[in-house]
Amino acid sequence: MVVLYGLIFLVVLVAFYGVGVYNRLVKLSTLVAEAWSGIDVQLKKRYNLIPNLVETVKGYASHEKETFENVTKARNQAQNATTVEGQQGAENQLNRALINLYAVAEQYPELKANENFLSLQNELSDIESDIEKSRRYYNGTTRDYNILIDSFPSNLIAGITNFKKAAYFEIDVEAERENPQVKF
């Protein structure tokens, strides 16, 4: 009889543990989705600002048609990305296109002094900072979620309940990885 009670107690204990792990997986999965939503909001702000920036630069550098088309194309691809991996690739293209747009703007001193351009540039810089913060939060939440999925014995429950690892969101801009050139 004692063995039966011990066995029942053990089964109940394992069931409670399983429910606890499942609930933690649901919580972290929801936090990952919420964190992605935060990135999405910041990216939409950025996408809405880019046409204004392009139009301002166009007024000064109308012959740079290819640069403007590349920015617009990259923006559209980024807006239409549906997965984290797709978004990551599209954001890399958009960042390269924006770097080219800023290179064009550097050639026009009167544009660099334009109040509207400076305002748009500052706003874009603020949004980029917010995207970075959102990306850090998303990646931190994704890390916690993925650790739970990979850890034993919670990985057994994750596998049974079909929880999958989430992808990290990393934007790879080669210019950011290069050593800065300092010249005096």
Query: Domains along the chain?
Result: 23-39+47-172 (1.20.1440.20)
Whether 85 and 169 have beta carbons less than 8 Å apart is answered as no
In degrees to the nearest 10, what's the CA dihedral of 38, 176, 72, 106?
Answer: 130
Could you read off the pLDDT of 11-60 as tens digits, one per residue?
A: 999 999 999 999 999 999 999 999 999 999 999 999 999 988 888 887 77
pLDDT at 141 over 90: yes
- The Cα–Cα gap between 69 and 53 comes to 13
DSSP conformation class of 178: S
Burial class of residue 79, CB neighbours in 10 A (0-12, 13-18, 19+):
middle
The two structure tokens encoding residue 177 = 């990885």
- At which residue do the structure tokens 């998303």 appear? 138
- Cβ of 58: how many Cβ atoms within 10 Å? 15
Element (H, E) at 131: helix 115-150
- At which residue do the structure tokens 């691809």 appear? 77
**pTM, full prediction:** 0.78
> Higher pLDDT residue, 63 or 8?
8
Task: For residue 2, name the pLDDT band (cuts at 50, 70, 90).
Answer: confident
**Residue 105 carries which side chain, given as an amino acid letter?**
A
Q: Which residues contact 71 (CB under 8 A, 6 or more apart)?
A: 50, 54, 94, 97, 98, 100, 101
Q: Give SS3 for 105.
A: helix
Whether 67 and 101 have beta carbons less than 8 Å apart is answered as yes
**Residue 120 carries which side chain, given as an amino acid letter?**
L
Task: For residue 179, name the pLDDT band (cuts at 50, 70, 90).
Answer: very low
- The Cα–Cα gap between 100 and 135 comes to 23
